[in-house]
Structure 1
Amino acid sequence: MGHSTIQGMFLGSHNHGGFLYIRATFQCLRRLPLPPPPFLFGLLLHRMETPWAKVFPIRVMLRLGAEFRYYPCPLVGIRGREPVYQQIGHTIMNLLSDFRNFTYVIPSVRGMVIHMEERQSSILLPRNRLSQVERALDDSDDHVLALAASFSTTADSHLVCVQGESGDASTGSNHYHTQAINIQNKPRKVTGASFVVFNGALKASSKLTAKSSIVEDGLMVQVLPDTLANLRTSLRNGEDFVIPCGPVTPVTPTVQQPSNEGDGTPAAPSQPVPDEVVVIKWVDDDKNFNIGVKSPIDGMALDGIPSIRVHNGTNYMGDTKFIRWTEVFLVQCAEAPGGRNETMDVSRISESIAHAVCLALHPYLDLLWSHALTLIAVRATLGPDSEGYEAGCGGSKLPPIYMNGLDNQLVGVLHRVEARPRDGNLVLELLFHLMEL
């Protein structure tokens, strides 16, 4: 989720503070005039809600859903409404994020979800987000580890954090409490949470192995210091971890168990059942991105294919138009000669391809514009002993006049690439936008 803030008067009010950008999940999209994917919806924010949009946007999204009774949130902004949050007040997020200068926030792991079921809570971590987990471990205190989760489309309900109203004598606006929002007419089996905090301050004198509790819209797991140290090690190694919660089972003298029927061996002693179990589990890669995106060359679906946005691309200027490289899709990444993916080589190869394409198309900017060829893609394939490319726009290949120019510039660049994959092919698809000055 992203956001943008606006200063001063906007849409007829000083209370409108910006937008929270979300992707539709369970909302109905029928009869809505929608652009081609990918697209986002912008939820109009009250100025009092913008700190939460900067620090912990999922909290605002779900709170708006609870306010308007729409799961997980409405797609329509309401002008002139009251804010769902007032002054920050007393919240656990004060300990995990900087609301004054926004110098740090609770670390988030993209694609991580938290599922709470009867007697079990599961923290599901995508395997391709190990680097984000390692970064969170490096930046966290030795005694506390906090992670923000993503919205789960698997859960049928979700915790919501509600701030007390100023006139409420029992809570007041300085305090928060927990509610739940769920899909209408669907039984609640799996409830999502927005964050988890592992606190290693549990004392051995408490006679507990661990303790799990709901705090606001998240999960607090209090563990012994040794347990937290073991958890941190397992997370760095990408290993699963299980935390049983409940009283410590007293050590009792060993009693000979009755033998198993027929084989004469003693039966295994029964294991105590914990009150609750917190499971940290690594799951399949997170591929919930570039959903609905199709290649301009041939309409190939690019769902779940990683891409890199080029924010400081060079503009190749014409008299009235210019062309810019804006994105590269890593369609297929084979192993480099050294036996591992070389990110720097992919970056250099992409830059050299982009430079050649822009030089080739630069003389034809006005002609491309006149034929509405404004979003162009080039898919380059590099194998151990071969190379090739395709180019297109709007689902069709580019006309021969442009392909001849690309041949003159691009074939030589691809042929001169020395860092070839050891096995398989490296396939990169680059996007170029043609724009008017």
Structure 2
Amino acid sequence: MVQIPPETMEALRQAFRDQADFQIACGKADSEQVRENVNIRWVKWTAPNSTGMVSPVDGKSLDGALNVRLQQDTEFETDGKTIKCTEVFCQLKSPSDFLPTVLTSHSHFLAEIATASCTALCPHLSILKTSGINSLGLRISMIADTVEYQAGSGGCFLPQRYMNELDCALIPVIHGGNSSIPQQSMDLEFIFYITELLC
């Protein structure tokens, strides 16, 4: 534990805002002697890319896509089956160094899409699981002002009745949160897993 005076705390906050390195001198409060330092350093971070993953929607490779883990606060359960979105894969249509920043700044949008999709599919979990669907993907393609999406499992698209449910859930999120939609042209692929609760 390191205790620092208010002026050092304010300087530390400013260093975080500026993304600048910062050093905190440590030692006894009543002594001028510095015994050690706590160094905060900014390093170049490379976003993790996927390898070997294929899209459940159409079986295409997701190699090179940025992989973002999602944490869902809500449990979606029906008849002892649960659905959860665990990760999102993102590929920009044109190269950009700012992809991690784009996704971080739109994490709320990603969570809303995952929650809306789970809500729409939750009533159908027993039928989906009985049909042998343990995982499925939802791909959202954003190009200029157009948003399109597809859902599927095992390289096959989901039947229209499920797509109708997804329409009802996703359209309000996509159009209601227009300001939060990333402006870059990209594909977002959400991966969902359906599991069975063991008693």
Match of 1:320 in 2: 80
Secondary structure, counterpart of 2:106 in structure 1: helix
Q: Equivalent residue for 1:365?
A: 125
Within the candidate set 401, 406, 419, 2:161 is matched to 401
Contact 1:334 1:421 in 2 (8 A): no
> 1:356–1:410: 8 Å Cα contact kept in structure 2?
yes
Which is richer in helix? 2
- % identical equivalent positions: 32
Pick from 186, 195, 198: which aligns with 1:435? 195
Deviations 1:31-69 (A, max 9, x none): xxxxxxxxxxxxxxxxxxxxxxxxxxxxxxxxxxxxxxx
RMSD over aligned CA atoms reads 3.3
| TM, length-normalised to structure 2 | 0.67
Match of 2:147 in 1: 387
Separation in structure 1 between the aligned mates of residue 47 and residue 168 of structure 2, nearest angstrom: 37
CA distance in 2, matches of 1:322, 1:418: 29
**Cα displacement (A) at 1:347:** 0.5
State the Cα distance separating 1:384 from its structure 2 match: 3.4
The residue type equivalent to 1:387 in the other structure is V
Q: Write out aligned runs for 1:421-432 (5 A).
A: 421-422=182-183, 424-432=184-192
Secondary structure at 2:52's aligned position in 1? coil
Q: Which amino acid aligns with 1:399?
A: P
Q: Which residue number corresponds to residue 7 of structure 2?
A: none
| 3-state SS in 2 of match to 1:403 | helix
CA distance in 2, matches of 1:291, 1:327: 14
Cα distance in 1, alignment partners of residues 91 and 171 from structure 2: 20
Shift of residue 414 of structure 1?
Answer: 1.5
Q: Distance in 2 between matches of 1:289 and 1:344?
A: 15
SS in 1 for 2:195: strand
Structure 1: distance between partners of 2:43 and 2:151: 42
In 2, Cα distance between the equivalents of 1:350 and 1:333?
A: 18
* Structure 1 residue ranges without an equivalent (≥5): 1-133, 142-234, 239-284
* SS of equivalent residue, structure 1 residue 402: helix
1:417 and 2:177 correspond: yes
Is this contact kept in 2: 1:317–1:323, CA < 8 A? yes
Pair 1:293-2:48 in alignment: no
Paired amino acid for 1:408: C
How much has 1:344 moved relative to structure 2? 4.5
In the aligned structure 1, how far is the partner of 2:68 from the partner of 2:93? 14
Task: Give the aligned partner of residue 109 of structure 2.
Answer: 349
Distance 1:410 1:343 in 2: 19
Task: Select the structure with the greater relative contact order (CA < 8 A; seq sep ≥ 6).
Answer: 2
Q: Report the Cα distance in structure 1 between the residues aligned to 2:176 and 2:72, rounded to whole angstroms.
A: 25
Matched-pair contact (CA < 8 Å) for 1:313–1:324: no
Runs of 5+ in structure 2 lacking a partner?
A: 1-18, 26-40
Distance 1:289 1:421, change over 3 A: closer
Give the secondary structure class of the aligned counterpart of 1:326: strand
Larger radius of gyration: 1
Equivalent in the alignment of 1:181:
none
- Rounded to whole Å, the distance in 2 between the matches of 1:292 and 1:381 is 21
Residue pair 2:49, 2:67 contacting (<8 A) in 1 also? no
Aligned residue pairs total 159
| SS in structure 1 at match of 2:51 | coil
Separation in 1, partners of 2:62, 2:50: 6
Give the secondary-structure state (helix, strand or coil) at the position aligned to 2:117. Answer: helix
Secondary structure at the aligned position of 1:409 is classed as helix
Check whether the contact 1:388–1:411 (CA below 8 A) recurs between aligned residues.
Answer: no
Is the contact made by 1:378 and 1:430 (CA closer than 8 Å) also made in structure 2? yes
Aligned residue in 1 for 2:3? none
